Amino acid sequence: MSRLPGCLALALLIGVVALGFIGLLSAGGSGAAIDWGYVWSLVRISLIQAGLSTAVSLVLGAALALALARRSRFRGRMLLIAGFNAATVLPAIVTVFAIVALFGRSGWIGEAARAVGLDYGSWVYGLDGVLLAHILLNAPLAARVFLAGLGAVSAEEWRLAAQLGMPPGSVFRFIDWPVLRREAAGVAALMFLACFSSFAIVLALGGGPRVSTLEVAIYEAVRFEADFSRAAVLALVQVGACAAILLPALILFGRRMSEAPPGGVAAMRPDIGSQRLRLLDGAILVLMGFLVLVPMATIAVGGVASLASLADGAVLVAMLTSLAIGVPAGALSVALALGLATLARDLRLRLLRPGLADLTGAAATLILVVSPIALSAGLFVMIRQWVNPFAVGIPLVILVNGLMALPFTYRQVEPPLLLAAERFGRLGDSLGLRGFGRLRLVEWPLLRAPLLVALAMATALSLGDLGVASFFGRGELVTLPVLLHERLGSYRVAEAGSVALLLTLLVAGLFLLAQRVSGGSIARPR
Amino acid sequence: MLVLDDVRVVYPDFEVRYDLTVPTDALCALIGPSGGGKTTLLHTVAGFAPVASGTIRFDGRDLTALAPAERPLSILFQDHNLFPNLTAAQNVGLGIDPRLRLDGAARRRVEDALARVELAGLGQRRPAELSGGQRQRVAIARALVRDKKLMLLDEPFTGLDPGLRADMIALVDALRRERGLTVLMAIHSPEDAASVADLVAFIADGRVDAVGPPSEILAPGRSPKLDRYFRRSG
Amino acid sequence: MLPQPIAARCIPAAFVRAGAGSPYRKGHAMNHLRAGAAALALALTPAVASAQAPTLTVYTYSSFAGAYGPGAAVKTAFEAECGCVLEWVTTEDAGTLVARLLLEGPSTGADIVLGLDTGLMAAAGTSGLFAPHGLALDGLDLPIEWTDATFVPFDWGWFAFVYDSTALAAPPQSLEELVRDPNGPMVIIEDPRTSSPGLGLLLWMKNVFGDEAADAWAALAPRIVTVTRGWSEAYGLFLDGEADMVLSYTTSPAYHIIAEDETKYRAAIFAEGHEMQVEVAGIVASTDQPDLARQFLAFMTTDAFQSAIPEGNWMYPAADPAGGLPAVFADLPRPATSFLMPPESVQANRRTWIDEWIAALAR
Q: Which pLDDT band holds residue C13 (cuts at 50, 70, 90)?
A: very low
What per-residue confidence (pLDDT) applies to A255?
57
Same structural domain, C285 and C346: no
DSSP A456-520: HHHHHHHHT--HHHHHHS-S----HHHHHHHHHHTT-HHHHHHHHHHHHHHHHHHHHHHHHHTSS
- pLDDT tens digits, A305-322: 888 888 888 899 999 999
Instruction: Identify the residue among C199, C237, C260, C341 best suited for mutation to test binding to A, counting A beta carbons within 10 A and taking the highest.
Output: C237
- Distance CA(C31)–CA(A227), nearest Å, equals 42
Count of Cβ atoms closer than 10 Å to residue C348 Cβ: 12
pLDDT at A114: 83
- Together in a domain, C237 and C179: yes
In the stretch 247-276 of chain A, residues with CB closer than 8 A to chain B read 257-259, 261, 268, 270
- Does residue C234 form part of some domain? yes
Q: Can you tell me whether residue C194 is helix, strand or coil?
A: coil
Pick the residue of C25, C58, C93, C103 with the most A CBs within 10 A to test the interface with A by mutation.
Answer: C103
Q: Please state, in angstroms and rounded to a whole number, the distance separating the CA atoms of residues C86 and C53.
A: 10
Higher pLDDT, B80 or C280: C280
Q: Please indicate, yes or no, if residue C301 is contained in any of the structural domains.
A: yes
Write down the pLDDT at residue C30.
40
Q: Is B119 on the interface with A (CB under 8 A)?
A: no
Residues of C in contact with A104 (CB under 8 A): 237, 240-242
| C306 vs C141: CA distance, rounded Å | 11
Residues in C touching A217 (Cβ below 8 Å): 193
Residue C14 has pLDDT above 60, yes or no: no
Confidence band, pLDDT 50/70/90 cuts, at residue C305: very high
Q: What's the pLDDT score for residue A16? A: 93
pLDDT at A8 over 50: yes
Identify the weakest region by mean pLDDT among A73-87, A104-118, C146-160: A104-118
CA angle (A439, A442, A447) in 5-degree steps: 70
Strands B199-204 and B61-62, bridge-based pairing: unpaired
Query: What residue type is assigned to position B95 of the chain?
Result: G
Residue type (1 letter), A184: A
Q: Give the integer Cα–Cα distance in Å for A264 and B111.
A: 31
pLDDT, chain C, mean? 84
If you count residue pairs, one on A and one on B, with CB atoms under 8 Å apart, how many are there?
72
Q: Do A258 and B67 touch (CB under 8 A)?
A: no
In tens, the pLDDT along A139-180 reads 999 999 898 888 878 888 888 999 898 999 999 999 999 989
Mean pLDDT value of segment A71-88: 88
Question: E strand or H helix at C18, and its extent?
Answer: helix C13-21
Q: Which residue has the higher pLDDT, B11 or A504?
A: A504
A515, with CB counted inside 10 A (0-12, 13-18, 19+), is buried
Mean pLDDT of A421-443: 69
Centroid of chain to Cα A128: 21
Contacts of A487 in chain C (CB under 8 A): 68
Whether C199 and C342 map to the same domain: the answer is: yes
**Alpha-carbon distance A193 to nearest alpha carbon in chain B (angstroms):** 29
- Poorest-confidence range of A84-93, A252-261, B2-11, B133-142? A252-261
Residue A433: the pLDDT is 67
User: What pLDDT score does A323 carry?
Assistant: 93
Does residue C318 register a pLDDT over 90?
yes
Any idea which of A339-343, B216-220, C5-9 has the lowest mean pLDDT?
A: C5-9
Q: pTM of the predicted model, to two decimals?
A: 0.85
Find the Cα–Cα–Cα–Cα dihedral B66, B70, B76, B82, rounded to 10°.
Answer: 130
Bridge partners of residue B18, in order along the sequence: B7
Residue A25, helix vs strand vs coil: helix
One domain, residues C55 and C67: yes
Model confidence at C18, in pLDDT bands (50, 70, 90)? very low
The amino acid occupying position C100 is: R
What CATH number is given to the structural domain containing C163? 3.40.190.10
Residue C120 amino acid letter: L
Q: For residue A38, which residues of chain C lie inside 8 Å, CB to CB?
A: 355, 358
With contacts defined as CB-CB under 8 Å, which chain A residues touch B127?
Answer: 259
Per-residue confidence (pLDDT) for residue A199, from 0 to 100: 84
CA proximity to A217, closest of C91, C354, C123: C354
Same domain, C132 and C24: yes
- The 3-state secondary structure of A325-377, one letter per residue: HHHHHHHHHHHHHHHHHHHHHHHHHHCCCHHHHHHHHHHHHHHHHCCHHHHHH
**Does C184 share its domain with C310?**
no
Give yes or no: residues C213 and C352 share one domain: yes
A203 in contact with C at a CB cutoff of 8 Å? Answer: yes
Does C322 have pLDDT greater than 50? Answer: yes
Find out whether C270 and C194 touch, Cβ atoms under 8 Å.
no
Backbone angles phi, psi at C9, to 5 degrees: -70, 160
A426 by Cβ neighbours in 10 Å (0-12 / 13-18 / 19+) ranks as exposed
Q: Could you tell me the domains of chain A?
A: 4-29+48-518 (1.10.3720.10)
The minimal CB distance from A471 to the residues C69, C96, C122 is found for C96
Q: Give pLDDT, residue C205.
A: 97
Please give the average per-residue pLDDT across A67-84, as a whole number. 89
What is the mean pLDDT of the segment spanning C60-69?
88
Give the total number of structural domains in chain C: 2
Contact C155, C191 (CB under 8 A): no
B194 to chain A, closest Cα gap in Å: 28
Q: Are residues C187 and C285 in the same domain?
A: no
User: How long is chain C?
Assistant: 363
CB distance C194–A204 less than 8 Å? no
Contacts of C284 (CB under 8 A, 6+ apart): C101, C108, C110, C111, C112, C113, C129, C130, C131, C293
pLDDT digit string, tens, across residues C70-128? 999 999 999 999 999 999 998 888 888 888 888 887 778 899 999 998 778 877 766 78
Residue C44 lies in a domain: no
Q: Are residues C326 and C228 in the same domain?
A: no
**Residue spans of beta strands (DSSP E) within chain C:** 55-61, 85-91, 112-116, 130-131, 151-164, 187-190, 224-228, 245-249, 265-268, 274-284, 316-317, 338-339
The low-confidence residues of chain B, meaning pLDDT below 70, are 232-234
> Which residues are within 8 A (CB) of B204 and not within 5 positions of it... i.e. 6 or more apart?
B32, B33, B36, B37, B225, B226, B229
Partner-chain residue, chosen from B75, B81, B99, that has the shortest CB–CB distance to A167: B99
Q: Do the beta carbons of residue A201 and residue A134 sit within 8 Å? A: yes
Alpha-helical regions (H) of A1-151: 4-26, 36-70, 77-87, 92-103, 108-115, 127-151
CB contact under 8 A, B99 and A169: yes
Q: Which domain holds residue C216?
A: 158-276+333-362
A184 touches chain B (CB under 8 A): no
Do B and A make contact via 3 or more CB pairs under 8 A? The reply is yes
Same-domain check for residues C58 and C89: yes
What pLDDT score does C43 carry? 45
- Residue C22: inside a domain: yes
Q: What is the pLDDT of residues C33-57, one digit of tens each?
A: 444 444 444 444 444 444 578 999 9
Looking at residue B224, its pLDDT comes to: 83
C241 part of a folded domain: yes
- Cα A63 to Cα A184, A186, A280, A399, A408, distances in angstroms: 13, 17, 9, 36, 21
Same domain as C34, residue C22: yes
**Complex ipTM:** 0.86
User: What are the tens digits of pLDDT across the range A289-308?
Assistant: 999 999 999 988 888 888 88
Handedness of CA C112, C114, C120, C125 (dihedral sign): positive
Say if A314 is an interface residue toward chain C (CB within 8 Å).
Answer: yes
C152 and C224 share a domain? no
